[in-house]
Homo-oligomer: A and B are copies of this chain.
Amino acid sequence: MLTLPETVEAQPHLNVAANPVVAIVGATGAVGVELLRCLEARNFPLSRLRLLASPRSAGRTMTFRGEAVEVEALTEDSFEGVGLALFSAGSGVSKRYAAAAVKAGAVVVDNSSAFRMDPDVPLVVPEVNGAAIARHRGIIANPNCVAAIATVALAPLHRAHPIRRLHAATYQAASGAGAAAMEELRESTAAYLRGERFEPRVLPHPYAFNLFSHNAEMDPETGYNGEETKVVAETRRIMGTPELPVGITCIRVPVLRAHALALTVEFGEAVPVEEARALLAAAPGVKLVDDRARNHFPMPSDATGQDDVLVGRIRPDSGDPSGRSLCLFVVGDQLLKGAALNAVQIAEALLPR
């Protein structure tokens, strides 16, 4: 079922017009800012940029292509004339306003989790399942950041050698919890270094030189938190492997804006390291960083601000006696491939050729 209210019919348009009016919903958030930067950096062909946010942010200006654009308060009437709406203001806002955008004629690329598991809404990482974009009925979902980063690295291997089982331990940055969490990491760390107490306001635990189990809500029955559940479900959906066994531990680490993943990937047969390396080196959106001689592997400091997902430490899993598993270490900018860049890449695929 499509999650649009019944009064809204799915629109016939599967593409956006040339040079559309583009709206960013949640323009002042951590991802919103990066959406604006990505549209600018990639020279996205748009006739006008509209910045929508909560009434609290209305009236502020942000710079796009050298010009000040005023932030407007989001209402259901905001979408008149908008051809493409990039939503990044949380699940509640998407549920409330995406239908209005579609009704007004816009195609919505939604960065929230609101529609990701809706069978009528494609969930897309262009390098992995870009063909799914064509099946949209007005809304396309942009995945969870870990799922997006992981699948960019996994898909090239999976196409050559189907993956049978996956295990992930994550090292997740502050940015996944928003700009305020990034600021809390900076502020609490500065306070720690001055020897001062700091009371967390955004995250539930101290963050300075600390790490903790991901702050998403925990299911008391299963012992898995909402982040882990999302990563598993979305990875399966994007890869087209609905039954893939996935084990996962999501941990928040004191890093600003790039997520790291220690992945163990079991295949149906042994995959030589050299072959995996060649597949990844040739894969779109991947940069191989696998220099054993210099002990140089993917790091957040290298991934920050980079479009590519960095992949390295490719080696047989010493813990799999069958010899059919490889380990990888993967790092991607959470705000770029994990969010804004992927959304803009989806939008680019919607433009007329």
Interface string of A309-340 (1 = CB under 8 A from B): 00011111111110001010100000000000
Min Cβ gap A55→B in Å is 31
Most B CB contacts (10 A, CB to CB) among A185, A211, A253, A314 go to: A211
Q: Which residue of B210, B224, B260, B316 contacts A315 across the interface (Cβ within 8 Å)?
A: B224
Interface string of A201-226 (1 = CB under 8 A from B): 00011100111110101111011110
Q: Which residues of B contact A262 (CB under 8 A)?
A: 169, 249, 251, 262
Does A177 sit at the interface, judged by CB under 8 A?
no
CB contact under 8 A between A210 and B301, given known A167-B264, A190-B193: yes
Q: Judging by beta carbons under 8 Å apart, are A300 and B210 in contact?
A: yes
Min Cβ gap A241→B in Å is 13
Q: Judging by beta carbons under 8 Å apart, are A299 and B204 in contact?
A: no
Q: Which residue of B223, B255, B297 contacts A313 across the interface (Cβ within 8 Å)?
A: B223
The docked-state distance in angstroms from the alpha carbon of A206 to that of B255 is 12
Does A256 sit at the interface, judged by CB under 8 A?
yes
Q: A214's closest neighbor in chain B, by CB? A: B295
Does A293 sit at the interface, judged by CB under 8 A?
yes
Q: Which residue of B186, B247, B251, B253 contacts A264 across the interface (Cβ within 8 Å)?
A: B247
The docked-state distance in angstroms from the alpha carbon of A185 to that of B210 is 13
Residue tally, chain A, CB below 8 Å to B: 63
Interface string of A161-187 (1 = CB under 8 A from B): 000011101010000000000000110
Does A268 sit at the interface, judged by CB under 8 A?
no
Q: A250's closest neighbor in chain B, by CB? A: B262
Does A232 sit at the interface, judged by CB under 8 A?
yes
Q: Judging by beta carbons under 8 Å apart, are A249 and B313 in contact?
A: yes
Residues 214-270 of A at the B interface (beta carbon under 8 Å) = 215, 217-220, 222-225, 228, 232, 245-249, 251, 253-256, 260, 262, 264
Does A273 sit at the interface, judged by CB under 8 A?
yes
Q: Judging by beta carbons under 8 Å apart, are B260 and A211 in contact?
A: yes
The docked-state distance in angstroms from the alpha carbon of A183 to that of B204 is 27
Q: Which residues of B contact A213 (CB under 8 A)?
A: 295, 297, 299, 312-313, 329
Q: Which residues of B contact A264 (CB under 8 A)?
A: 167, 247
Q: Which residue of B219, B255, B293, B319 contacts A211 across the interface (Cβ within 8 Å)?
A: B255
CB contact under 8 A between A217 and B295, given known A171-B211, A319-B247: yes
Q: Judging by beta carbons under 8 Å apart, are B211 and A315 in contact?
A: no
Q: Which residues of B contact A292 (CB under 8 A)?
A: 218-220, 223
* A-B CB contact pairs (8 Å), 16 listed: A166-B319, A167-B317, A167-B319, A189-B209, A204-B295, A205-B299, A210-B299, A213-B295, A218-B292, A218-B293, A232-B318, A247-B319, A249-B313, A249-B327, A249-B329, A253-B254
Task: Give 5 closest A-B pairs by Cβ, nearest first.
Answer: A247-B319, A223-B315, A169-B169, A169-B262, A249-B262
